[in-house]
Structure formats: C-alpha cells, structure tokens
Structure 1
C-alpha cells in the first residue's frame, strides 16, 4: 500500500507539473474589438479561433466587446501586457498628438502603440438601381438616396455628397439603413449608401434581386475624401463587370511596446498564415493584402516587422 500511495503521489506531482508547464506555455492575449452585434466583433471571434488553431493552442485570445475605436485607443493608456485593439490608424495618430477626443490626455502611453496587421477596411458603397440611370456621381442629382442615421457610412456619405457638389441636390430618404434593400427593390429609393468590409452582405442581397450599379470614384473625388483607395474586383457582386474604385477607412490591429517581440511575431505570422482559411468561410478576409500595410501611418511593432522582413512584405522606413 505504501508503494502504491507513493506512486500515486509521484503521478499526481507529474500531472501537476505538466499542467503548470502547459499553462506557462500558453500566451494569453486580450483583444478589444467592437459592439457584439457588429461584423468587427465577428471578425475578432474569427481571429481568436484562427490564432488558437494556427499556434496549436499556444496563443489564446480573449475577445472583449467595445463601444468603439475611441474606447479601444483610450484603454491603451491603462492596459498592460498583451493588449490588442482594433482602430483606424488616424485615430491613433490623434491620440499620439493629443487631438480630437484625446485632447488634454497625456501622450506618453499612446506613443507606445504599435501596429501589427491590417484587417478588413470600412469601405464605402454607393449602390444605385440600374433603372435610375445613375452611373456616376453627377447622375445622383434629383435622385432619392438612403444614407441611414448616425453610422460612419451615413456621415461619410453625406460628406461626399457635399464634396462632390451634390449638397441639397439629392433627396435624402428618412429611413434606417436596415430598410435599404427592401426600399430599393420596391422602388421607394433610387439608391443607398453603406460602409463596411467587402463584400458587403446588404450589397450582395441588393444585387441578387435587382440590377444595380455600385459607383466608382474618380481619382479627383478620391483625393477630396482624404481616405484610402480600395479596388473591389469585378465579379464581387452580381452583375458587376468592372472593378469598383472607392474610398475606405483602414482598420488595423494594434498592440503596445509592452507586448514582447516574440508574441507580436507569432500573432502577425499566424494571422497571415491563417488568412486564406478564414477567407474560405468569411470572404471579407480576402480583401486584406500586404499592400494595405502602406495605409498604416505610425510605427509597426518590432515583432511584426520581423515577420514582414521574412515574408518580403513592403514596409516604409518611417514605419520601422
């Protein structure tokens, strides 16, 4: 009995040591994302699963809901360790310069923010019924357009109408964006504006049941928006025979210099290696490319830079 008891104690000790070693091997990361009902929260959940799969469980991501990018950036001041968040790069730039919603905030913590990799952009879509005759922005004059209310797409869409000389020349429908597809199909509106990762589900739905044109921006119009250029390939939407050139707001996964280089390397490497697999189930990942690194205005984490050097991805000197 004494021998059996001794063996039992030894076995229990070995199991405990093994469990402790496994726990130590795991790298825990917190990812601050977006509202739970949003597509960006869904992307965060997909990233979490991809990291677990791609690292054989060595990296475990816990996704936290957020009320928006301002909150995500603001928390970089107080969160320590492996804190990752998503935000447009321009918002991080405002924080690092104590401007906009970050005015009066100390910049020291924000200066430690570093980029890891891009995720799907907020891409503008101007969707018009083909029988409206509108094939460019000049053709929007006198048409009824649904912008929605309060969203990034609604604010951005209204800004573009003003920039392109259409302020007061377009009838704006008083309805929520959730009603856009039905209103388009019923002929209640000539078109709608939406922003999101592409291919956008509501644009897919609209194009599947109605002949539509998704308008392209000229180079001059794109310059006026001061946004990034996105090209949606021909064939993305039903009936779309040509590429669509439009404006987008880049979104990036960020960490801080408190994250060690090896963790940043593993996160970045695994993201790019798992991106194609994620794209099989959610096509918005297929729109992310190495060229999108050029839309990052600040510094990239040294661990991520190590991977980009290995992969031969384009990185500017000012991003190092």
Structure 2
C-alpha cells in the first residue's frame, strides 16, 4: 500500500489536471465579453435583454450587458454583421431578414443569424388617454398623431399597415416608448400603438399618473388583421394593467433570442442551458419570461437554430428537424 499511494495520488492529480485543462480548452475560443441588442428604454426588450445579459455574464464569469438599439430589425443586422453577439428579435422581421427583405438592407440575405431560445409573444396593443374619448379603433379620428415606437421596429413595421387596413388615417410618429408615453401624457400624441411584451413599463408608469384607455380589437377587426398579417390571436389578461377591467383582444408575434451562427458551439450550449434551466430566475427579470421555456421552440419556423442550442434541446428530449439547424 505504501508503494502504491504515491502512484495513486499521481494518477488522481494528473487526472484532475487533465480535466482542468480540458475545461479550460472548452472555453478557449469563447468571447471574453458580449453585448445584447435590445430596443429603446422603457420597452420590454430593454428590461428583458439587459437583465438576461447580466444573468449570463454573472453565471459564466464574462463581461456582458444590454445595449439600446432600434429594436428587432436592427438587432438582426447587428448580429448578422458580428457587431453584437446576441440580440432579441421578432418572427416577422426575422422572416424578412433571412429572405433578403430587411428594410435596413434590401437584398441582403442575413444568414449569420441563429435562434437560441423562445422569449414571449409580443402583443400589439393600443393606448390613449381616457380624456381623449378614444375607446375603440373606430374612435381614432382622421389625422390622429400616433406613436409607433422606434423607426424600423416591429411595431413601426407592422402596426401602421394594420391600422391602415382597418381604415385609420393618421400622422406617423416615432420614438422610444418612454418618450412616446410622455408625449401622450402631454397631449402631443393622440394614440400610442405598442408592440412590446406586457406589461409595457411605459404604460404601467403612465396609468399611475393619469387615466388611460387600453383599446382592444373588435372581433371583426381581429379577423381582418389575422387574415392579412403574420400574427396570432392574443388575449391581454385583465390583471396586466390596473386600467383593464376585463381581458382584451389583441394580436401578437413571437420573439426569440438570437446569436451569431459563427459563435462557438460550446458557448451557445452553455448559454442556452443556463437560460432554459433557470426559468424562476428569468421570471424575476421580467414576468413575460414565463413563456421562455423549451416547449415554445416550436414557434420558430423561420431561423435555423444554433448547433449549440440545438444540442441542448435534443439532449433534453425536444426534437428539431435537421433542416432547422444551422
């Protein structure tokens, strides 16, 4: 035994050193820092993306954070070009980007953008001051000043077209959600048409300070929009805002977190694992993360999944077809 102990110790120490070296090698090509493209301050993308970035950075021992951007359309371009490692986007703009129809880069097929995980549905909702007398879409007067969020955002891309389809004539205004909420309160806007996860921070803040109407779609308006645009039926629960007395009809698009396809597989595997296995922590960042669960990967029919993300899903019993993996 005395003659074997040193050899045993040597084997154990050697094995530990090899394991340590292997772990180090696995991270050798990881980025030392990362940035997440979000959207304007006051919107859910900013709160969700910044909180998620801090969570990932803390847990993986990296430097990372969220950055204000123009939203989903710009995030696709920033990730595709390698200017940002991660971004948050919506399926409508994602479909345009991979088909070379992005308004920011017409004709450019953005093929360096991969899906990581589902976030939540983005409801399209409308708010006006109660003092305006606007209680329905048909109440919106001709020439109304409507804020649609940042230029080229999901809201700005789809909401004006939806309202035009429903016969609304308006003056189009752009800006960050917080700014638009302030302009609505100050009487500089008549309506704000939001496309953002609920509760929208700007609306929650606004209804503390004044009376607000959350305007829902009628059944006919809902049917018209569902037939004409890549959206799904959605219900805004009455519990979302103190203003709502009952659930409100709306439409929505799904959001996904995206990554540059050329990022290391092991890195994206660990980021996906961390996110998908800690939903309690994600919900503490923003309650919309309740739907940031692996079962909802089925709502991505547009972007290929990053191989690192796909590996985690497949290891945990979630099927992804080969043609949906980069």
TM-score (norm 2): 0.68
Unaligned runs of 5+ in 1: 1-16
Confirm or deny that 1:119 pairs with 2:145: no
Change (3 A) 1:309 1:174: closer
Confirm or deny that 1:44 pairs with 2:49: yes
Q: Count the aligned residue pairs.
A: 293
What is aligned with 2:213? 212
Query: For each residue in 1:26-53, what CA deviation from the matched residue of structure 2 results, as whole angstroms up to 9, or x when unmatched?
Result: 5436334146856534433322222245
1:304: how far off?
1.9
Cα RMSD after superposing both structures: 4.2
Change (3 A) 1:212 1:298: same
Which segment drifts farther, 92-101 or 141-150? 141-150
1:115: how far off?
0.9
Q: Does structure 2 conserve the Cα–Cα contact (< 8 Å) formed by 1:232 and 1:243?
A: yes
- The aligned runs of 1:1-320 (5 Å cut-off) are 24=25, 26=27, 27-28=30-31, 30-34=34-38, 37=41, 39=43, 40-55=45-60, 57=61, 60=62, 62-63=64-65, 65=67, 67-68=69-70, 69=72, 72-74=75-77, 79=82, 83-100=85-102, 101-103=104-106, 105=108, 107=109, 110-120=110-120, 122-129=122-129, 134-141=134-141, 144=144, 146-147=146-147, 151=151, 152=153, 153-154=155-156, 156-167=158-169, 172=171, 178=178, 181=181, 191-208=191-208, 209-210=210-211, 212-216=213-217, 218-286=222-290, 288-289=292-293, 290-291=295-296, 293-311=298-316, 319-320=324-325
1:218: how far off?
1.6
1:162: how far off?
0.8
Q: Distance in 1 between matches of 2:277 and 2:304?
A: 22
1:238: how far off?
0.7
Q: Distance in 2 between matches of 1:63 and 1:266?
A: 17
TM-score (norm 1): 0.69
Q: Does structure 2 conserve the Cα–Cα contact (< 8 Å) formed by 1:264 and 1:301?
A: yes
Unaligned runs of 5+ in 2: 1-16
Q: Does structure 1 conserve the Cα–Cα contact (< 8 Å) formed by 2:36 and 2:50?
A: no
Q: Does structure 2 conserve the Cα–Cα contact (< 8 Å) formed by 1:121 and 1:249?
A: yes
1:235 alignment partner, SS class: helix
Q: Does structure 2 conserve the Cα–Cα contact (< 8 Å) formed by 1:54 and 1:274?
A: no
